[in-house]
């Protein structure tokens, strides 16, 4: 996630590169659901856009189609070559897109982001949304960007739920293996006065938790940017209430920028009832994660303790 940690897209202002892009492109998969760009229709009711509930065990059916990829740019073949040192997988459109984005070859980057998005990759959807919002190598379309962010969040939640199901299955398998444990290990557990974790459970954590962490990061990025869309009026009418709603979700998922943003909302009463204690609590969470804040000693006063 280093690439995304170094880019906070809501405040970016990149311009399309004059570099002539080009490279052989992996095509989209056969499961595309639509052709052309999305068009987002807002009904002026200011209610939050529908998202899956990350805590729900129910797998709701997808309500948003995947986008179609952009057509290959005419100058695709003349783009700088992909490095031959294995640092970029030439079969992965997302890695290729990030490479060209960092090279400022934005037209080619946007194309590859759109291919990754068409395949349902949450980060591909997210980065294609950012490209559309800012016009990075493609036609600027803030409304379409909001729709892509919705799809990115929806897809990431599905990944989260699937990761949770995999973790539960691995834990069940580990529990079933406990009776087969060596007698000495069982005796040690009994004498220690608490249950020792099964070896299988540790292995399950090693394999499942990274997937959950990645999906959570993908979800957080998308929801944070949805909040910023409503805060800034990018593709939707401005709504402080809806912005605060999504910012709270991103903050609860651990995004430090979202924690500071929602703290400011509580401090000013933007979209939420003014509550200095709640503001202090969110500022504390952000500072514990390493946020650098100047002249904020007041947040640690005892009167703002939970």
How would DSSP label each residue in the chain? -HHHHT--GGG-------S------PPPPTT----S-------S--PPPP---TT--S-PPP-SPPPPPPPPPTTGGGSPPPPSSSSS-TT-HHHHHHHHHHTT-HHHHHHHHHHHHHTT-HHHHHHHHHHHHHTSSS---HHHHHHHHHHHHHHHHHHHHHHHHHHHHHHHHHHHHGGGS-HHHHHHHHHHTSPPPPHHHHHHHHHHHHHHHHHHHHHHHHHHHHHHHHHHTSSS---HHHHHHHHHHHHHTT-HHHHHHHHHHHHHTSSS---HHHHHHHHHHHHHTT---SS-GGGGSGGG--
* CB under 8 A, 24+ apart: contacts of 38-44: 38/65, 38/67, 38/143, 38/144, 38/147, 38/148, 39/143, 39/144, 39/147, 40/143, 40/144, 40/146, 40/147, 40/235, 40/236, 42/236, 42/237, 44/237
Per-residue pLDDT in tens (0 to 9) along the chain, 306 residues: 455 544 555 543 333 333 333 344 444 333 332 223 332 233 334 445 444 444 444 444 457 899 999 999 987 889 999 998 989 999 999 999 999 999 999 999 999 999 999 999 999 999 999 999 999 999 999 999 999 999 999 888 887 777 666 666 666 665 555 544 333 333 333 333 333 333 333 334 444 457 678 778 888 999 999 999 999 999 999 999 999 999 999 999 999 999 999 999 999 999 999 999 999 999 999 999 999 999 999 999 999 999
Q: Comparing C-alpha atoms, which of 92, 129, 123 is closest to residue 110?
A: 129
The pLDDT score that the predictor gives to residue 198 is 37
The pLDDT score that the predictor gives to residue 86 is 86
The pLDDT score that the predictor gives to residue 209 is 58
């Amino acid at each position: 996630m280093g690439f995304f940690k170094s880019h906070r897209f809501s405040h970016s202002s990149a311009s399309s590169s004059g570099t002539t892009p080009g490279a052989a492109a992996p095509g989209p998969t056969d499961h595309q659901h639509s052709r052309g760009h999305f068009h987002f229709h807002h009904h002026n009711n200011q209610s939050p856009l529908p998202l899956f509930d990350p805590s729900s065990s129910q797998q709701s059916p997808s309500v948003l189609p995947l986008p179609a990829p952009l057509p290959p740019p005419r100058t695709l073949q003349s783009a700088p070559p992909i490095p031959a040192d294995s640092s970029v997988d030439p079969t992965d459109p997302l890695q290729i897109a990030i490479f060209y984005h960092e090279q400022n070859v934005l037209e080619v980057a946007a194309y590859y982001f759109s291919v990754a998005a068409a395949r349902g990759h949450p980060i591909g959807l997210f980065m294609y949304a950012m490209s559309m919002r800012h016009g990075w190598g493609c036609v600027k379309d803030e409304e379409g960007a909001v729709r892509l962010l919705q799809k990115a969040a929806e897809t990431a939640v599905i990944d989260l739920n699937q990761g949770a199901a995999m973790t539960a299955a691995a834990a069940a398998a580990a529990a079933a293996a406990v009776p087969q444990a060596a007698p000495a290990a069982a005796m040690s557990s009994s004498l220690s006065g608490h249950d020792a974790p099964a070896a299988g459970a540790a292995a399950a954590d090693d394999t499942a938790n990274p997937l959950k962490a990645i999906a959570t990061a993908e979800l957080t990025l998308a929801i944070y940017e949805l909040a910023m869309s409503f805060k800034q009026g990018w593709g939707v009418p401005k709504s402080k209430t809806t912005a605060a709603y999504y910012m709270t979700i991103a903050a609860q998922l651990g995004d430090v920028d979202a924690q500071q943003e929602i703290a400011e909302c509580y401090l000013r009463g933007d979209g939420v009832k003014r509550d200095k204690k709640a503001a202090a609590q969110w500022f504390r969470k952000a500072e514990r994660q390493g946020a650098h804040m100047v002249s904020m000693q007041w947040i640690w006063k005892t009167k703002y303790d939970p």
